[in-house]
Structure 1
Amino acid sequence: MNGAIVDPILQRYKSAIAQLLDQLARFAQAIDNAALTRTIQNLQDNINQPFLFVVIGEVKAGKSSFINALLDSGEICEVGADPRTNMVAKIIYAQGEGYSREVHPGELREIGRPVPILQQIAIVDTPGTNSPSQKHEAITKEFIPNSDLVIFVFFSKNPYTNTAWTLVDFAHKEWRKPVIFVLQQADLADDRELQASVQYIAQEAQQRQIADPKVFATSAKLATDKLKSDHSNSDDSSENIDAGFAPVQDFIRSTITGGQGYRLKLTSNIGAAEQIVERLGNDMRLIKQQLHQDETVVARIRDRLGQGQNQSHYEIDALVERLMVQYERTIYQIKQEFRDGLSIFTLAKRSVLSIFNRKQRIETWMNDLKTRAQKELEETLDETSKEGAKRFIDGIQSMIKQLLAEVTALENDALRKTEITLPMLEYRYEVIESVKTKISALLNDETFMNCLTDTVDGVGPGVAGGGLLAVIGGTIAAVTEIVILDIIGSVFLGVGVLLAGGVLVAKRRRLIQKLDTELERNKTKFEATVSEQLNAKLSGIYDEINASFVDLYDYVEKERESLTPLIQQFEQIQRQTKTLAAAVRQL
C-alpha cells in the first residue's frame, strides 16, 4: 500500500487551530483540570503528526492480524492463539531496523518500523474492549480524541456483541470522529453469514446516527497466504485470492493519502476542539447560572433584611403608640383621683381622722395612690408589651426562616460533577454550610429569642413605672408639707377652716399644675426612651443577623471577581471555535 499525504496547503487553518488549542490549554490550566489539559496537549502534539488510526475491537476479533495485513510487512503486531495484545501499542515510522519499547510500563508500547506508509499514518492497536483491565479501556479512550479515523473490528461470524458499541458511541457521538467497520476473519463465514453480519453492523451504525456507514469484510489469513504465495514464487496462482483488503486500502488511499487527508485531519482536530468546548460550555453555563443565582440570593438577602428592619421599626412605632395610649389612660385616672383627693373637705376630713387613725393620713393616701398607679400602669403596659413582643418576634423568626430557605436553595451538587475544579467552587459549599449553621443557631438559640422578648416586654413598663414613681414621689413630698402646714396647722391653731381653704385653693392649683406638668414631661421622656431603647436593640439584633451572612457576602464578591474574567475568556473561545469550525468544514 503506497501513497503520499498531500503537502500542507492549508497552513493558515492549521495555525488557527493550533492557536485555539493553545487558548484551550491555558483555560484548562486555569480551571485546574489535569485530565483535560493532558487531552489538549495530546491534540496539540497530534496536529503535527501523521494521520492517526485507532483500531478497536473485542478480544480475538482479529485486530492485530488486520493491522499486520494492512501494512503488508509481516508480523508487526504479535498474534497467537491466546489474546496477545495486553497493552495499547502505537505503531509509527522508524528508520533502520525499528524498535519496540514500553512508554508507560504495562500500559503503552511504542513500535517503530521502517514501513513507508507509516510516514503518512500512525496506527494504535488496542486490547480487547472486553479486556479485564480497566486501564486498557481508559488508555484506549485517551487515544480516541486524538484519532483521525477509528476502525472498529468485529468477528465476522459473531458481530452481535455490545462491548465495542460503547466505544463507538464515545468516538462518534462524543468526539465526532469518523469511523469505519471491519468484519475480520471473513474466511470463517459463509456468504449468508457474512451478508447478515454486514447488514447488522450497518443497521446498528445507522441507529447511532452514522450516515452511510462503511463496512468491510477482510481475512488477514487469506492476505497472509497470498503474501506467502507471492514471495515463494509458487506455481499456485494467488490472483484469485480475495482477502478483502483492497477496498479498505482504496478507502484509505482516497480519503487519507489521496489528497483529502489534510482536510480530514483538520476537520478531526477542529471537531475534537468543538467537543471540548461543547463539554466545557455545559459546565460553564452551570457556573454562570450559579454565579447569577448567588448574586441574586445575596441581593434578596440584603433586601429582605432591609425590608425586615423597616417592618420591625414600623412594629416598634406601633407598639410605642399603643403603649402611649395605655399610659395616658392610666395617667388620666391618676390625675382625676389626685384632684378629688385634694379637695378642701376631703383633706380636712383626712386631717381630722388622721389624729385617731394613721391610715387616714394624707401621706398614707399618697403612698397608696403611688403604689396603685404603678401597679396599674405596669400591668397595663405589660399586657400591651407582651402582645407587641409576640408580633415582633414572630416577624423576625419568619424572616430568618425565609433567609435560611434562600441559603439552602444555593446548595447544588451539579457543580461537583463538572470538569471544572476551581478551589473557589469547592469553598462555596463550606461557606453555604457555615452560614446555614449560624442562621439555624439563631433560630434555635433560646437566649437570643428570650433577649428579644425581654427587651420588648420590659422596656415599656420599666421606663414608665420608674418615671411615674419619680413624679408622684416628688409631688407627695410637696403635698405632705402643704397639708401639714396649711391644713392641720391652720385648723388646730385657730386660723379657721375658711382661711385654710383659701390657702389650699391656691396651693391645690399649683400642685395639680405641677403634677400635670411633671406627668406630661414624663410622658415625653417615656415615649422617647422606649423608642430609643427598642430601636437600639433592634439595630443590634439585625447587626447580629446580618453578621451571619458576612462570609457569604465576601464569597460572592470574590466569586464574581474570579469567575467573570474566566467566563469572558471562555465565551471568546466559543466564538472563535464556532467561526473556525464553519470555515474548516467549507474547505
Structure 2
Amino acid sequence: MANLIDANLQAKRARLEEIIKNLHELTLRIGHEEMAQTVSELRNRIFEPFMFVIVGEVKAGKSSFVNALLATGREITKAAPQPMTDTIQQIIYGEEERTVTVNKYLKKIFIPVEILKEIAIVDTPGTNTIVEHHQEITEQFIPASDLIVFVFEAKNPYRQSAWDFFKYIHGDWRKKTIFVLQQKDLANENELKVNLEGVAEKARKEGIDDPKVFAVSAKAEDEGDADSGYAPLRKYITENITGGKAPGLKLNNSILTAQTINERIADGLLLRRRQFEADTFFRQDIQETLDEQTSQSNKQVDLMVENLLLTYDGITRSKLEELKGGLSIFGLMKRSLSATFGSTPDAKTWLGNLAKDLEEELNTKMRARLNDNVIDLADSIQQMVKVIDLKIRSSETILKNDHEIFSDIAERRENVLRDLQDQFNRFVSKTENFTDEELFADRENLTPNLAAGGGIAALGVVLMALSSASVFDISGGILTTVGVLFAGFSTRGKRKRIVDGFEAEIVVGRQKLAAELEEKLKAYIANLRVRIEGNFARFDDTLAREEKNLAILEGNHVEIREELAEMVV
C-alpha cells in the first residue's frame, strides 16, 4: 500500500513538473525575468523535501532557533550577538556533513540529522538587513517554501518592517505561516503573555483565522530546560508535517504556488485585455469621428456650392434679361438712332460693356460669397483635426507602467501613444500636409503663398486658392465664349443665336462649376483624411500584434489553470 501511494505521488510530481514547465515557458513568453526565475526555482524544488523557511529581523535569534530545533548539540548556523547570517543557508539531509557554497548569497549545509529526511530548513538574513540583495534573495525562496517560520524577539514582536514582510508572504503568496517568539527568557511572564496575544491578534487582522504562536528559548533548550517551549513546537511539526505527511503537503503547496503565479499572470492579462479593448474602442472612435467629420465637411462643400450657384444664378439671370431687352427690335432700333446722334453706344459697344459688367459682377460678388463659405469649410475641416488631436490626448490608460508583470508592455504602449501625439502635432504644423499638388496641377499661378503661418493655419488660404481656381476658370470660360458671340454680332438676325448661345453657356458653366468645385473639394477632404489616418499606422500595428499576443497568452494561461485544477486533491 505504501509503495502504491509513493508511486502515485511520484506520478503526480512528474505531472506537476510538466505543468510548471509550461508555466515557466509562459513567463518567458511574457518576458518577466523575475517571475520566470521564481517558477524555475519552484520547478527545481518539487522533488526536494518539505521546506521550512525561517524569516525575521536581524538579531531576532533565527540562527540560534534553528540550531536548537536541530538538536545536534552544536552550532550548525552561526549565531552571535551581532548580525552574522550574511547569506542564505539551506540545511538539508546528507550522509556526510559538508558545506557547498552555491554562490556568495547561498550555501547548502548537508548534515546527517534524521528530521532532515522529511524537511529542509532555510535560514535567511534579517528582513531589515542593510546588506544589498539579501531581502530580494530571501523573497526568491518564499514562493518555493512550504512553511514559513516567522521569528520575532519575544520582548518586541511589533517592528513594522517585519510585519510588512509578513504581508508580502501571506498576501502575495498565501503561504502557511507559524509565529515564534524567540528569546522568551529575556521577557517577564506578563510581557510574554501580552506579546503572545498581541502577535496572534495582528495575525488575525491580516487574515489568519487560527494563528499558531509559540514562545521558545534556544538558550534554555540548549541547556536542557524542559520549559524551553520547544516541546509544543515539535509536537505541532510531528502532528501536522512529518510522519509521512510532508511529501503530499509539499505537492499541494507547489500546486498552490503555481496557481498563485498563474492567477497573478491572469490578473495582468485581464488588465492587458481591458487596455486592448479600450485602445480598440479609441481607434474605432477615431474612425467614426473621421467618418462624421468628413461627412460634415462634405455637407459644408454642398452648402458652399449651393450658395455660389445661387450667386451665379442671380448674376447670369440679370444679365440674360438685360441682354434680351437690349437685343429686342425696339432696343436695337433705339440704339441705332441714338448712336447716329452720338448719345448712346452702338450695339457692339453695348454688348462689350455688358460682357465687361458680367465679368466684374462674377468676380466681385462670387469672390465675396466664396470668402464667406471658405471660412465655414475651413472651420469644419479644422474641427476634424482638433477633435482627433483631443481624442489622442485623452485616450484611456488602464495598464500602468508600474504594473508588476506588464510594466514593459504598458511603457511600450505609452511610447507608441506619445509618438502618435508628437507625430500628429508635427503633421498639423506642416503646411505641405494641407496642400494637394494634384489638385493644383497646371495652376501654379493660383497656388497660394503659404510662407506665412503653416499647417492647419494655412487651411483657409489653401481652400480659397483651390476654390478660386475652379470658380474663375469656369466664369472665365463663359466670358470668353460670350465675348466671341458678342464680337460676331452684326445684324439683328443674329439676336436669337446670341441669346441662345448665352443661355447655353450659362447652363454649361453652371454644371461645370458645381461638378468641379464639388469634385475637387471633396477629393481634397478625402485625401486629407487619408493623410490623417496615416499617422495611426504604428498604433494600428501595435494593436494587431497585441491582439495576437493576448490570444496566445490567454490560451496558455487557461490551459495551465485547467491542468492545475485537475491536480488539486
TM-score (norm 2): 0.88
- Aligned residue for 1:122? 120
Q: 2:174 aligns with which of 176, 199, 215?
A: 176
- Aligned residue for 1:282? 267
Offset of residue 389 of structure 1: 2.3
Offset of residue 253 of structure 1: 1.3
Q: 1:479 aligns with which of 482, 486, 508?
A: 486
The separation in 2 between residues aligned to 1:535 and 1:69, in whole angstroms, is 89
* C-alpha contact 1:381 1:461 (8 A) present in aligned 2: no
The separation in 1 between residues aligned to 2:87 and 2:482, in whole angstroms, is 106
Residue correspondence of structure 1 range 28-427 to structure 2 within 5 A: 28-73=27-72, 74-96=74-96, 98-105=97-104, 107-226=105-224, 241-348=226-333, 350-351=335-336, 360-410=345-395, 412=397, 414-421=399-406, 426-427=411-412
Q: Which moved more, 1:175-184 or 1:523-532?
A: 523-532
Offset of residue 48 of structure 1: 0.4
SS in structure 2 opposite 1:111? strand
Unaligned residue ranges in structure 1 (runs of 5+): 1-5, 227-239, 487-503
Offset of residue 60 of structure 1: 1.9
- Aligned residue for 2:537? 550
* C-alpha contact 1:90 1:109 (8 A) present in aligned 2: yes
* C-alpha contact 1:154 1:183 (8 A) present in aligned 2: yes
Q: State the Cα deviation string for residues 100-130 of structure 1 (Å, max 9, x = none).
A: 243221x222222222222221111112222
Q: Which moved more, 1:282-291 or 1:166-175?
A: 166-175
Give the AA of the match of 2:299: Y
Offset of residue 508 of structure 1: 1.4
Offset of residue 555 of structure 1: 2.3
Offset of residue 7 of structure 1: 4.7
* C-alpha contact 1:354 1:360 (8 A) present in aligned 2: yes
Residue correspondence of structure 1 range 505-516 to structure 2 within 5 A: 506-516=493-503
SS in structure 2 opposite 1:100? strand
* C-alpha contact 1:472 1:515 (8 A) present in aligned 2: no
CA pair 189-517 structure 1, distance change in 2 beyond 3 A: closer
Q: State the Cα deviation string for residues 71-100 of structure 1 (Å, max 9, x = none).
A: 11111011223222122211112222x222
CA pair 464-334 structure 1, distance change in 2 beyond 3 A: farther
CA pair 178-334 structure 1, distance change in 2 beyond 3 A: same
Aligned length: 542
Q: Does 1:528 align with 2:504?
A: no
SS in structure 2 opposite 1:79? coil
SS in structure 1 opposite 2:60? coil
CA pair 533-59 structure 1, distance change in 2 beyond 3 A: closer
SS in structure 1 opposite 2:354? helix
Offset of residue 64 of structure 1: 0.8
Offset of residue 473 of structure 1: 3.7
TM-score (norm 1): 0.85
Offset of residue 363 of structure 1: 4.1
Give the AA of the match of 1:55: I
* C-alpha contact 2:269 2:550 (8 A) present in aligned 1: no
* C-alpha contact 1:381 1:460 (8 A) present in aligned 2: no
The separation in 2 between residues aligned to 1:161 and 1:461, in whole angstroms, is 81
Give the AA of the match of 2:89: A
The separation in 1 between residues aligned to 2:161 and 2:487, in whole angstroms, is 109
Unaligned residue ranges in structure 2 (runs of 5+): 431-452
Offset of residue 344 of structure 1: 4.1
Offset of residue 12 of structure 1: 4.5
